Structure 1
Amino acid sequence: MHKKTLEDIGEKELINRLGKFMPKNQISDDCALIKTKNENLLVNTDCLVENVHFNDINICPMDLGWKAVVSNISDLLSSGSKKTIGITISLVLPPRTEWIWVEELYKGINKALKEYGGMILGGDCSKGDDKVISITAFGIQGELELRRNACKPGEIILTTGIHGLSKLGFLMQNKINFDNQFSLNERLIIKSIEHFCRPRVYPNFLNNLLKTRSNKKIKRIGCTDSSDGLFQALQDLAMASSCKAIIDYEKIPKDKDWPNGDKWDEYYFFGGEDYELVFSLPKKWAKNLSKLDKNINEIGFFTDGKPSIEFNDNKKNKILNNTTFKHF
């Protein structure tokens, strides 16, 4: 009899099964919520594994340190964190690792903390065959709770920034050859590599939400980040909130030099590691926020129906036949 492996069940099913050992709804978001007498805490853990997320060819240790911090802060922000308290760092390193590699890694970590707040609180070290950087980040829950299961039918779907750039940067850093029919603009190449190596997040996002909130009785909104790709972010919101997402392909914000074609749509929707925020708001609130922040774009809406994603143009639905990044 075949015993199921992690490759058989996949990452999402693994997480669902692990959730049975935890309190109810503990796995519905990337961050855990810890309630205290004063301010509630948000806790997130994210790890980067050599030859899965990075290698010595596609990213330098300083950029890797920056990215390891930003990936965690992105999850905190997508849950409504108003302040990052600090991080703990667990390292798994081969004994042959040079000290300068570790030193540069920590320089990158400190640069990101200086930019976005927080401090190193401690950690742990061990040896292993491949490098692993695992960070646990602690934040303070803000006035608005951002949760994947808080989207509602009739709400507008919005996203910060542009997707696909990190994927292109990854491909460029790994010297992947493109078809001769594509002549990539040098500006786009530089921008994409920067997005892959030094991603940025939106520390003012929560404040801008509060500034533009038309109904102060609303305390929860649906939100996640696109660390696993835009499609996965939309799917997570739809599944958690039991809504159908209708996406307007023509409203999807793309870089002005982004090529056309099925492969480029795949990079855009399934690339991952862009760390943009994907969320939904009532119409008036969405309009107010889009006016205040020009980096935020409406891309569709939620409606009643089986949790799923559709394009309003049926011809584009073939894009959804692609698959997301798999850890197993």
Structure 2
Amino acid sequence: MLQVQAVSVYSIGNSHTGDSAILKKQGIYQLAQAMGKPFTHGWHIRCSRGLDYMWNNPNDVCVEPNAYGLFTDALTNYQWDVLMLQPFDVYTSDAIPENERELQAAIHFEEICADPPGRLFLYTTWASSGALDDDVYVPDEFTDLWTEPYAVSSEEVLRRQGFMNWYYAELKRYCDANEISLTVIPGGELIMELEQRIMKGLIPGMDAIDDVFRDYIHMDLAGRYLMAVAICSELYGVAPTDVPLVRYFTGGAGWGTPVTEAQAEELKKIVDAVMKREPFEPENIPVEFATSVEELDDLRQIKIDWSALSGYTYELKASTDLGSWDSIAGPVVGDGQNESVSVDLDSDRRFFRLSWY
């Protein structure tokens, strides 16, 4: 068996997976070169289909694989540092996704690896930049679509925040039980944060979220750079601010609106903020933010050290199902002081998420 050395990634997904610029010798390849980092990659891409469809139709692809082949060959004959998976929701006569089947497909891909990958990346997809009304595209606020309610009981696979959070929680349960490292590349959350900053006038040269889409569902170069920075920062353990801007994203790809240096700096700030917002349970609050979690009478006391966030606006949210979130602390500007938050144990809240900007 060929042992792929250093950082190697195998990606399974749809056209949104390609919107990370990870295929062929695209943006991530150039970023790795510019940073002097090793990068070996393979892919299995079926446009407009989810993981369950690909698992059951392994020979049906829309992008030809490279020398590592389809997942049936690549996962069983090569060792990969990272297996990156992206669920998707297109409903057609030959592909009617269900949430549990889409989840089990991810597990199947991991299970057939001849050598378990060191890390599993869940690259979550995103909503559209608008909606179709009688086949006519109507622009809308991305955030409104992304945060539409999601019910697990519907059994649907949806490009919505609620589904992706449910998917993450269930996949994490599997990964924790099997001692697998799970990393989220939160595509939808990155775009939502970008839209909010565009609306505040913080992104030069951008007036609406449409500016990072090349159509109502796929990314232009700025959106691709946003995703690529998130992936590279996790692959190589570097700060997003240290990921350079390379020729692919400045027009060298031969298509798309070039990303400017000023835009790149703001996009990297977004990645830096959003990648620190993974959902977490009280017992697993990142150590840099938590001093202790205690039982006090009938309350669970979460003591958080905000000193690292001095000068930032922070907010702590709680959720029962990873679909909807309630603010329980903030948003306020951190002053470097310790603060405690009490959570009623009688409630169903299990998940907590810290965000700051």
TM bucket (normalised to shorter chain) is under 0.3
Greater length-normalized contact order (CA 8 Å, ≥ 6 residues apart): 1
TM-score if structure 1 supplies the norm length?
Answer: 0.28
TM-score if structure 2 supplies the norm length?
Answer: 0.26
